[in-house]
C-alpha cells in the first residue's frame, strides 16, 4: 500500500505539463486561463491537468477561485529538488560517489541546485582561487592536495587577516621531481606566514587519513567536488554563493572538522620517532633535496610505517614533520 501511494504521487509528477503547472504556482495563485497562456497549453488541456492535480490533493482553490498549491504539494516539490539536481547532472553522478557523505546532507542534496557546475579543472581551480582572493573573514577547506596557485592565494589571504581552517590528507605523496622546488618556495614564502598565523591562532591545520570531499568555503562563496567512484578526485566542482548552497557546504565542513586530528597531535609521535632515529631526518632532507636515497631496510621500513614516506617518496606528514624539526618548535595544533 505504501508503494502504491508513492507510485500514484510519482505518476502525477511524471507529466511535464502537470509538473510545469505546479512549478508555475510556486509563486502564487493563478487562474486556468492565465495559466494556459503562460504554459502554451489549450484551456481545455490545462483544465484537465489541473483537475487531476486537484484530485491528487496537490492543488486547491483559494477564496478568489484561483488555483494554488496545497502544503502537500509544496513538500513534494521540495523533495523533488534533489532528484531534479541529480537528473540535471546525471553524467557527473554516474561516475562520482557520495557514499561517505553523511545521510542528512545527502537528503539535502537539493540545496546544491542553484550552484554552477564547472566542467573542467582549469575553470574549477580558477573559481577556487577567486573565492580565496575575495574572502575577507575566513576560509575553510578540505582537500587531498592543494595546487601551487591555491597555496599562494591562501598565504595572501592569511596576510590580509582571514582566519583559515584546513583539513588535508596526511598520506598525500609529493612527486620527487616537484618536492625540491616546492620546498624552497614554501620555506621562503609560506613558512614565515604560517608561523605568525599559527602563533596568532588564525590558521588551524588538521590531517586525516582520507577526505570525502574537495571543499572550499568563505563567508561569501563555496565550492565542492565529490570523489570519483574509485575514491580519487577530478576536481570538477559545483560553485556558488546562494544561501542554501553555502549553508550545505558550511555544514559539510563542520561535519568533517571535528573528525580530523589537529596537526600538533598527528606529528607528535612521528617527530619523537625521528628524534630517536637521527638518520631518518637526514633521509627526509635528502629526499626533499631530490637526491637519490638508498636506505637500510629497517630505516626505510620505519619511514613507511610512520607514514613519512610512501614507496620512497615524501608524504605530506613527512613534509610537516621535517618542517617542524627544522624549525625546532612544536607548532600550535
Domain boundaries, the chain: 2-82, 89-171+209-259, 263-327
pLDDT at 290: 78
Q: Containing H/E element for 317?
A: helix 316-327
Distance CA 208, CA 262 (A): 9
Distance CA 135, CA 246 (A): 14
Of the CA atoms within 13 Å of residue 172, those in its CB half-sphere come to: 20
Coil, helix or strand at residue 54 = helix
Distance CA 239, CA 114 (A): 9
pLDDT along the chain (333 residues), means of 10: 83 92 92 93 94 94 92 92 94 96 95 95 94 97 91 94 96 83 85 90 96 97 97 96 97 98 95 92 87 84 94 91 76 39
Beta bridge partners of 140: 165, 217
Residue with cell 483559494: 62
For residue 205, what is the DSSP state?
E
CATH class of 2-82: mainly alpha
Reported as a single tens digit per residue, the pLDDT across 219-228 is 999 999 999 9
Beta bridge partners of 67: 30, 61
Reported as a single tens digit per residue, the pLDDT across 275-326 is 999 899 888 988 888 777 788 899 999 999 999 999 888 999 999 999 889 8
Q: Is the torsion defined by CA of 110, 146, 139, 260 positive or negative? A: positive
pLDDT at 49: 94
Q: Decide: residue 42, CB within 10 A, 0-12 exposed, 13-18 middle, 19+ buried.
A: exposed
pLDDT at 160: 95
pLDDT at 1: 60
Q: Decide: residue 117, CB within 10 A, 0-12 exposed, 13-18 middle, 19+ buried.
A: middle
Distance CA 183, CA 293 (A): 17
Q: Containing H/E element for 310?
A: strand 309-310
**Neighbouring C-beta atoms of residue 41, cutoff 10 Å:** 18
Q: Which three cell numbers stand for residue 66?
A: 484561483
Pairing of strands 116-117, 67-69: unpaired
pLDDT at 53: 94
Residues 6+ apart with CB under 8 A from 324: 267, 271, 330, 331
pLDDT at 323: 87
pLDDT at 332: 38
Beta bridge partners of 222: 217, 240
Question: Which CATH number is 89-171+209-259's, of 3.10.450.50, 3.30.870.10, 2.60.40.10, 3.40.980.10?
Answer: 3.30.870.10
Question: pTM here?
Answer: 0.88
Amino acid at each position: 500500500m505504501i508503494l502504491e501511494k508513492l507510485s500514484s504521487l510519482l505518476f502525477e509528477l511524471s507529466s511535464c505539463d502537470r509538473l510545469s503547472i505546479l512549478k508555475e504556482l510556486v509563486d502564487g495563485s493563478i487562474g486556468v486561463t492565465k495559466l494556459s497562456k503562460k504554459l502554451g497549453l489549450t484551456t481545455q488541456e490545462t483544465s484537465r491537468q489541473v483537475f487531476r492535480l486537484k484530485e491528487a490533493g496537490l492543488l486547491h482553490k483559494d477564496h478568489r477561485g484561483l488555483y494554488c498549491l496545497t502544503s502537500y504539494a509544496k513538500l513534494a516539490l521540495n523533495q523533488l529538488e534533489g532528484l531534479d539536481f541529480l537528473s540535471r547532472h546525471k553524467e557527473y553522478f554516474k561516475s562520482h560517489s557520495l557514499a561517505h557523505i553523511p545521510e542528512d546532507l545527502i537528503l539535502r542534496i537539493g540545496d546544491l541546485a542553484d550552484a554552477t557546475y564547472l566542467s573542467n579543472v582549469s575553470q574549477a581551480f580558477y573559481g577556487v582561487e577567486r573565492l580565496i582572493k575575495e574572502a575577507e573573514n575566513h576560509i575553510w577547506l578540505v582537500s587531498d592536495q592543494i595546487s601551487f596557485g591555491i597555496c599562494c592565494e591562501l598565504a595572501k589571504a592569511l596576510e590580509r587577516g582571514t582566519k583559515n581552517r584546513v583539513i588535508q590528507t596526511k598520506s598525500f605523496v609529493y612527486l620527487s621531481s616537484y618536492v625540491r622546488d616546492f620546498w624552497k618556495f614554501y620555506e621562503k614564502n609560506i613558512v614565515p606566514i604560517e608561523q605568525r598565523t599559527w602563533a596568532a591562532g588564525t590558521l588551524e591545520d588538521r590531517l586525516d587519513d582520507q577526505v570525502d570531499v574537495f571543499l572550499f568555503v568563505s563567508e561569501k562563496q563555496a565550492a565542492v567536488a565529490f570523489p570519483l567512484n574509485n575514491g580519487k578526485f577530478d576536481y570538477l566542482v559545483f560553485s556558488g554563493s546562494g544561501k542554501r548552497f553555502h549553508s550545505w557546504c558550511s555544514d559539510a565542513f563542520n561535519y568533517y572538522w571535528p573528525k580530523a586530528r589537529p596537526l600538533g597531535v598527528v606529528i607528535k609521535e612521528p617527530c619523537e620517532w625521528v628524534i630517536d632515529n637521527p638518520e631518518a631526518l637526514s633521509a627526509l632532507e635528502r629526499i626533499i633535496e631530490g637526491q637519490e636515497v638508498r636506505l637500510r631496510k629497517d630505516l626505510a621500513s620505519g619511514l613507511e610505517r610512520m607514514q613519512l614516506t610512501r614507496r620512497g617518496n615524501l608524504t605530506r606528514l613527512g613534509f610537516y614533520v621535517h618542517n617542524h624539526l627544522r624549525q625546532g618548535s612544536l607548532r600550535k595544533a
